[in-house]
Amino acid sequence: MNDHDGMRARLLRFLRDDTGDVPGWVLITLMTAGLVILIWGIAGPALGQVFQNALARVTGF
């Protein structure tokens, strides 16, 4: 068995392993949700004001 066959065997084992990393995905999902909530809380009021100003300029003409 040469080096290429060994790499191919490892790749096939990896592709067949469907157990996954559930705790890792849960952590990533929770961290992403936390970041979205944090950014929305900080930037939400400013973005709302920008939208209202833009809407006022469009409807003011």
32 pLDDT higher than 70: yes
The structural domains of the chain, with segments of one domain joined by +, span 21-61
| Range from 2-16, 24-38, 47-61 that averages highest in pLDDT | 24-38
Amino acid 38: pLDDT: 95
Amino acid letter, 22: V
Q: Which contacts qualify for 45-52: CB closer than 8 Å, 24 or more apart?
A: none
pTM of the model: 0.50
Measured distance CA(25)–CA(1) in Å, rounded: 36
